[in-house]
Amino acid sequence: MRMITLDEVAALLRENDDFKLLTHSYPDGDTLGGAFALAFALRKLGKRANVAVNGPVPSKFRYLVKNYKEQDFTPKYIVSVDVAAMSLLGDSVMEGVKGIDLCIDHHRTNTVVADNIYVDGDAAAACETVYQLVELLGVELDEDIAGGIYTGISTDTGCFCFTNTTPRTHRIAAQVIPFCDWKQINYINFVVRTRAKIKMERMIYDTMEFYAGGKCAIVYTTLAMQKALGAGDDEMEGLANIPRQVEGVEMGITMREKDGGVFKVSVRTNDGINAAEFCKKFGGGGHPAAAGCSVEGDLATVKKLLVDAAEEYI
């Protein structure tokens, strides 16, 4: 395990071949956009590179793989992209993987075990690092690479709205948007919502309760609600941002019931309240303004646990 520089990351990518790029479970725009952009870039250098995804690529992100075909080779160099912890690597992703050679990430809480580690905690998205690597490697941008990078930085910043955005994020956006269909990417990720999703959002408001003098808002979805609306996983995305939007709320908690008596919990906070630290109490982690954890139990029990902890924490 050694922390390396960006130049060293570029050198390792240049020196090696037959890459397997690992993405995290419940894949989002940054892990997918970053891994596929990097794979396309490595292939442009004449190398072989595949991306391992836990399950199918979510339908909304299918545009990332329209020019992607799995290559046939035995992986020799393993790289994780946007993966913050080993537990986020699904079994199918880790198939045949003995160890990780290189970890590229932007989560300050990163605990991945790898020979070489590059974590840029100032990067809004792992895709910022991927962009820098594409530049260092001298690979010319094209639609696949630019589209992946734009997907990662736009989704991880809520379209340049979240507090993790930096001047560099905007500068990279300016570089990549001439090469990709960013209007369609924005439409998919930030504009369009299915009727089922709109219904789910409205239902969530009915569950909203306020604590800590209105500073904490908590909402939930249950499997029964999801079933009643015919809402798939796509409809369940982005709900985590709802409670923090209410005036006066500094900590928004979204509980989402998953199979097996467990709630996936997302926490979004304003400046001054550390969501990652809060989630750590429940074995989770993430960023200061956006973090998550999983808590076992029934709805009432989990809610009480979270509310009590939040009231103490705020």
Catalog residues that contact a copy of itself under the rule CB under 8 A. 158-163, 165-168, 170-171, 173-175, 177-178, 183, 186-187, 190-195, 198, 202, 205, 244-247, 270-271
User: Do 274 and 309 meet the contact criterion of CB atoms below 8 Å apart?
Assistant: no
β-partners of residue 293 are 265
State in angstroms the smallest separation of the CB of 204 from a copy of itself.
11
Closest approach of a copy of itself to the CB of residue 303, in Å:
21
260 phi and psi angles, rounded to 5 deg: 90, 25
**Helix 143-156 and helix 126-136: axis angle, to 10°?**
150
φ, ψ (nearest 5 deg) of residue 295: -130, 130
Return the number of the residue (18 or 250) whose C-beta is nearest a copy of itself.
250
- In the bound complex, what is the minimum distance in angstroms from residue 247's beta carbon to a copy of itself? 5
Q: Which of 28, 25, 29 is nearest to 182 (CA)?
A: 29
Nearer to a copy of itself, 223 or 228 (CB): 228
Rank residues 192 and 223 by Cβ distance to a copy of itself and give the closer one. Answer: 192
- What gap in Å lies between CA 272 and CA 127, rounded to an integer? 26
The candidate with the shortest Cα–Cα distance to 122, out of 163, 89, 86, is: 163
Residue 170 Cβ vs a copy of itself, minimum distance, rounded to whole Å: 4
The secondary element (H helix, E strand) that includes residue 56 is: none
Distance CA 308, CA 187 (A): 38
Q: Are 199 and 229 in contact (CB under 8 A)?
A: yes
Q: Which is nearer to a copy of itself, 121 or 214 (CB)?
A: 214
| CB 60, min distance to a copy of itself, A | 11
Cβ closer to a copy of itself: 45 or 191? Answer: 191
Both structure tokens of 167 = 């001047």
Q: Smallest distance from the beta carbon of 178 to a copy of itself, in angstroms?
A: 6
Nearer to a copy of itself, 111 or 166 (CB): 166
